[in-house]
Amino acid sequence: MAGYIEDRWLKKKKDPVTGKRERTARYGKGSRYRVAGIPGVRDKSFDTLEDAKAWLRRSSTDNERGEFVDPRDGSITLDDYVTHYWQTGVRGAPGTVKRIDERVRLHILPQLGPVSVRDISPAVLRGYIAALESECSPRYARQILTSFSNILETAIDDKRLVRNPMRAKSVRWPKVPEDQREAWPRETAQRVRDAINARYRISVVLALGCGLRQGEVFGLSPEDVDFARGVIRVRRQVQLLHGRLYFTLPKGGKTRVVDMPPSVASALAEYFMEYPAVEVELPWGGPEPDREKKKVPLILTTTYGNAIRANIFNVEVWKPALAAAGVIPMREKGERWKASRKDGFHVLRHTYASIILEAGESVVTLARWLGHSSPTITLDSYAHFMPEAGGKGRSAIDALLG
């Protein structure tokens, strides 16, 4: 077994005259026994020989297995660990990194930042989650806890923790109510399409007719539309971060090809005649000024020929159309629009999915058109839009037994 125990008060060799071990200059000062010589493990001192032997056995065995964690490394506060070790390794799309930073900075560090990493116990977490549930929705609370758990997993990789206390059985995450995706009735979708400003009506057509997300609509170019094959290639989106616009890949970093019904193709052809595309230059991959810039002819732009900002579009174009269509009340002068989350632009994508599934299209095909990584995600989100699900099975059993 690697390592040894050193007596720091008495020398190894005995006095030839007295036969006793001589005292060292450290006699009576500090801890007497030091465990040293374990590869990759810092020396540690103890007051008693029994404690030193126990540490030597445990640390040597764990070190050989690759499982040794020095508890002194866990004495760092969560705030210091996040700032100096964890945060530098966060990767992802700029918007994703921003959301993670907000969760950590606003909801984790103010409460647990001064606590040592090794002192974040299940008991501490149970109290923290109880307080979190009183401040946030269950869905957002789970997002915060996911980021927190990621921090603790990284601390395990860095040999500052033995296990993740977030995985303890007694630590129960908030339950998210089973809220189903809501789609508009077709009449509502048609009213909004007809009520929206004519310049931006094609955005509703693309979202309803092809299931495009808002950022993907704003990033669509005539070069992405293949009239011959009847498809649209979704290759980029326009995003807004820190007040600056930029191009980036669609959600999940994946491009896709979606079916373009003849009605959408006809609407696009008419739109191109009335509103020619405008070339827009934006940074690619993030809003930072030093990013490489790309010029792309965009189908949808402002009257000044700029890329569209989602926040301005939602207030000045989308919500007035909702009010004109009777979906939300008209706002009073000086007041804000009273619109719920379920009536955001994304409801057009849900409506598209509901129409496709009700028509009998397969979940696998819809998942590919929507850009989902797995048909399971599509099924979990939109299974309730399949009113005939199970009907064919019942008919087959009736034919067998009836």
Q: Per-residue pLDDT for 68 more than 70?
A: no
Model confidence at 273: pLDDT above 80: yes
Given the structure tokens 């409460």, which residue do they identify?
111
Q: Which pLDDT belongs to residue 400?
A: 59
Segment (H or E) for 241: strand 237-241
Q: Quote the Cα angle for 192-197-202, to 5°.
A: 75
Spatial distance between the Cα atoms of 237 and 345, rounded to a whole number of angstroms: 15
Residue whose structure tokens are 């009520």? 195
Evaluate if residue 390 carries a pLDDT over 60: no
Q: Is the pLDDT of residue 184 over 60?
A: yes
Phi, psi of 24 (to 5 degrees): -90, 175
116: which DSSP letter?
A: B
- Mean pLDDT for the stretch of residues 225-251: 95
46 touches 33 (CB < 8 A) = yes
| CA-based nearest residue to 160, from 75, 43, 86 | 75
Helices 375-382 and 363-370: angle between axes, nearest 10 degrees: 100
Confidence of residue 8 (pLDDT cuts 50, 70, 90): confident
Specify the pTM.
Answer: 0.72
Q: What pLDDT, on a 0 to 100 scale, did the predictor assign at position 69?
A: 58
Give the tens place of pLDDT for each residue, 359-386.
Answer: 888 889 888 998 888 888 787 777 767 6
Tokens of 227: 């009239």
d(CA 369, CA 205): 16
**4: β partners:** 36
User: Which pLDDT band, with edges at 50, 70 and 90, does 21 fall under?
Assistant: confident
What is the dihedral angle through the alpha carbons of 148, 154, 158, 160, rounded to the nearest 10 degrees?
Answer: 30
Residue 391 has pLDDT above 60, yes or no: no
Q: Name the DSSP letter for residue 359.
A: T
